[in-house]
Amino acid sequence: MKSRLITVFGASGFIGSYVVKRLAKQGYLVRAAVRDPSAASFLKPMGDVGQVTPVQANVRNQESVIKVIDGADGVINLVGIFRQIGRQRFDAVHCQGATNVAQAAADVGSRYLVHMSALGASLRSPSIYLKSKAAGEKSVTKVFPNATIIRPSVVFGPQDVFFNRLATLACFSPVMPVMGCPYPKYNAGRIDFFGNGGTLFQPVYAGDVADAIVQTMEDDTHAGKIRDLGGPEVFSFKEIIEKILHNTGRRKFLVPVPFGLASTVAFLAELLPVPPLTRDQVTMLRNNSVLDGEANGFLPFDNTPTSVDVMLPSYLDKYCKGGRFSRFSGA
């Protein structure tokens, strides 16, 4: 076992659990910095006895951050939120919290810091999520210039929110929304409802993102670099909905939803205790989530990114009409 100790913030999250698993497999000692250590005990069996230890920390609390970074050779910060609730504001978590982590990592002389941002992060973005991610990047690199920034497009895997939420919708809704289509227009003798099919995405597998993060730590050439990550294919929102329907064996009407209408729906959804869609998420969808030139960004890494077609059937089958075994005749 490597004696190097890595502190992972956001270890209990979707991408965090992949990162912890890979670090443990590589023999690192993992300190999983989480807000609720008992809820993160599922991480322990990912390593040998005592190899993965959940410890309490909140990135908004500098004292707790300093404690869990003490003695660490490397730090990975995967903390993020997708909607604001209570004191969990985008700025507080993505910028101030990220700065707390970077400052503590710099103070203890951590050898590396990997910081998770998001594709499209920009100080000029109209999305407050993406703007706070950009502010976080700026602040982190000021405090820890050698930090590596990872910026994935939408991430997929069995526990993802994006594909699972749309597949859940497909189970009970008679129609499926295609976000970001133009208003219908008459074109060459027919009405065009979907335009180019809405927002473009380059979904990237969580396991590939985790592999890239671990390689980042083991190779100094990534220090101080921004790594945009996307999968091998680009899909429109419409193509993604079609993939979900194909993999769940369902047939639904597709409904084009222009952004103006989506914002109104999101406004109403925000009245719910747990909104399935927010206006800021609609704002984010106004920009495609693809890499420049649609390259996948894995060139500096050893791994070849995984296609959604390889993974989706393995976890969307539970949404199949008649249950997960209904695809097999006689089951």
Ligand X SMILES: NC(=O)c1ccc[n+]([C@@H]2O[C@H](COP(=O)([O-])OP(=O)(O)OC[C@H]3O[C@@H](n4cnc5c(N)ncnc54)[C@H](OP(=O)(O)O)[C@@H]3O)[C@@H](O)[C@H]2O)c1
244 binds ligand X, rule: CB under 6 A: no
**CB neighbours of 172 closer than 8 A, spacing ≥ 6?**
none
97 binds ligand X, rule: CB under 6 A: yes
In the list 47, 54, 74, 152, the residue contacting ligand X (rule: CB under 6 A) is: 152
In the list 15, 68, 167, 245, the residue contacting ligand X (rule: CB under 6 A) is: 15
3 state SS for 106-154: HHHCCCEEEEECCCCCCCCCCCHHHHHHHHHHHHHHHHCCCCEEEEECC
Q: Which is nearer to ligand X, 54 or 256 (CB)?
A: 54
> Which residue type does 320 have?
C
In the list 36, 63, 107, 309, the residue contacting ligand X (rule: CB under 6 A) is: 36
CB of 86 to ligand X, least distance (A): 10
305 binds ligand X, rule: CB under 6 A: no
Taking CB under 6 A as the binding criterion, the range among 80-88, 240-248, 269-277, 320-328 that sits at the site for ligand X is 80-88
Cα separation, 118 vs 297, whole angstroms:
13
- Binding to ligand X in span 37-76, by CB under 6 A: 58-60
Cα separation, 195 vs 291, whole angstroms:
21
Tokens 């594709």 locate to 119
CB of 314 to ligand X, least distance (A): 18
In the list 5, 7, 8, 13, the residue contacting ligand X (rule: CB under 6 A) is: 13
210 binds ligand X, rule: CB under 6 A: no
176 binds ligand X, rule: CB under 6 A: no
Closest CA to 296 of 230, 211, 227, 209: 230
Closest CA to 178 of 188, 189, 192: 192
CA 138 to chain centre: 20
Q: Which is nearer to ligand X, 4 or 35 (CB)?
A: 35
- CA 21 → CA 2, 45, 266, 296, distances in Å? 15, 9, 36, 23
207 binds ligand X, rule: CB under 6 A: no
Task: Using CB under 6 A, list all residues that contact ligand X.
Answer: 9-10, 12-16, 34-36, 58-60, 78-81, 88, 93, 97, 116, 118, 152, 154-155, 162
